[in-house]
Homo-oligomer: A and B are copies of this chain.
């Protein structure tokens, strides 16, 4: 114990030294680059076991940096997960959820009226106060209200879309989603330069996101910057530049992964060219598990069950790679669990930033200690909360995960029409077509021995009883921590008038549409 304590002191000293020396050396705050993929799966990357090994640049990042082997998104769907990353808080706290129905997923379709509220504080807002120049490129997707737009949430620059790129496609009954540069609309998806050819899969979007990132880094080489590179190519409908079409063994999805991997390589090369790599913290991840229900042209959840939308492991496990040469030791491997929300705390730790309201509950932990100390493989907070909308479906503590509720997705409404997030996966009484309440006897797995969630612990064993007691306590104390800290759900009300009919800038490019009257109603979330 004494030795352990000494090690801790040593560690703190090392961290302090690293910070001082890196600051001294570079005479300025480290840059931050978050690369957040869209629906990319744990099993999509060579370094996480993809059998085609088509991601040399990301694999290199992993082999030179720290690869997390138990890394989790904050939610099985993009809007809530992205909002959690930005705020360091679970969606149930920051408001990016619905309670129209229990335990249903929801997302900022362009007709949803809500958005991240001003009272939430984002990484960008905190870094802006520290003098950072902040830019988001690609997909924002955490609100359709003005206050939730990136430029009102701490970003100085924006190139991309507030909403998703997946529809509408035809611009007939509703306007196609608008693409912005800062506060000005510069086009719409599926039109002109922002087209995604639904027949051929050809699109320039990833190339735009990549080139814009390179320019931003170049322009800000002499001041601290925060780049949030939210390239969304792996989200359906898939699009890759002509140079990449047909280059993968994995089909169009693989082509897109290859182009994103190339983009990662370009960004790293640029950092090196400008000699910024020793003063830049890079983190690579994905917003949720792969979109298994979209069929063959989607990501790979590796050895895990099911995919996006679900609280099985495949819905939550994502890649997590930290890279900072000469600061984060090479090939360091952590055994987590860690989550996207931890990136918030980690960035605070690296930059010395802090939330204005020091009593605000943050759901993450800083990963900095385990990142810089090769011998430290244990994280303090050892928990993952698997929410689906307003429902806390499962809780992981250490290596054990207890499922209190299970549900695949509504068979009639989505599975039979669209596809199955659990296709190819099966376990009786566990992968359930309807919402099932297991609170009387939660289904518990040891994720070390059984990452596939195939062998529930026997409820009659001491191991089950002991672990359930531990997890129950963590769950109850978490629920208690929500008291007074749960914002009004922002994904409850839908209204077509919210869509981008005639945003600022539409006139210049001749893309205005006549707005429709407002007629709000409760959104009907069916997945």
Measuring CB to CB, which residues of chain A are less than 8 angstroms from any residue of chain B? 43, 46, 48-53, 63, 69-70, 248-251, 253-254, 295-297, 300-303, 305, 333, 335, 399, 423-427, 446, 448-455
Name 14 A/B residue pairs within 8 A (Cβ), A-sorted. A49-B302, A51-B69, A51-B70, A51-B303, A52-B335, A52-B448, A63-B63, A249-B448, A296-B454, A302-B302, A424-B425, A424-B454, A425-B425, A425-B426
Chain B's closest residue to A252 (CB) is B449
CB-CB nearest in chain B for A336: B51
Chain A interface SS verdict (over half):
loop
Most buried by B among A253, A333, A424, A450: A424
Instruction: Give Cα A9 to B461, complex, Å.
Output: 66
Measured between beta carbons, the chain B residues less than 8 angstroms from A253 are 449
Quick one: closest B residue to A71, CB to CB?
A: B51
Given A69-B51, A249-B335, do A305 and B424 touch, yes or no (CB 8 Å)?
A: yes
Q: What separation, in Å, do the CA atoms of A50 and B43 have in the docked complex?
A: 11
For the complex, give the distance between the alpha carbons of A333 and B51 in Å.
10
Q: Which residues on the B side are within 8 Å of A254 (C-beta)?
A: 448-449
Q: Which of B49, B300, B305, B427 contacts A50 (CB 8 A)?
A: B49
Q: Give chain B nearest CB distance to A423 CB in angstroms.
A: 5
Q: Do A250 and B448 touch across chains, with their CB atoms under 8 A apart?
A: yes
Q: Please give me the 8 A-B residue pairs with the lowest Cβ-Cβ distance, nearest first.
A: A49-B49, A426-B426, A249-B448, A424-B454, A251-B449, A296-B455, A51-B69, A53-B333
Cβ contact within 8 Å between A43 and B303 = yes
A424 engages B426 (CB within 8 Å)? yes
Residues of B within 8 A of A297 (CB): 449
Contact indicator B451/A51 (Cβ below 8 Å): yes
| A69 pairs with B53, CB closer than 8 A | yes
Q: Chain B contacts of A69 at CB under 8 A?
A: 51-53
Chain B contacts of A399 at CB under 8 A? 249
CA distance A248 to B446 in the complex (A): 13
Give the interface centre of A248, A297, A425, A453 by most chain B CB atoms within 10 Å: A425
8 Å CB contact of A302 from B70, B303, B423, B453: B303
User: Are A303 and B49 CB-contacts (below 8 A) given A399-B249, A455-B296?
Assistant: yes
Residues of chain B within 8 A (CB-CB) of A423 are: 427, 454-455
| A274 to B: closest C-beta gap in Å | 28
Q: Which residue of B lies closest to A69 (CB)?
A: B51
Known: A424-B426, A454-B296. A448 touches B251 (CB 8 A): yes
Chain B nearest CB: distance from A376 CB in Å?
15
Point out the residues of chain B lying under 8 angstroms from A303, CB to CB: 43, 49, 51, 300-303
Report the bound CA distance from A65 to B300 in whole Å. 26
- Min CB distance A408 to B, Å, is 12
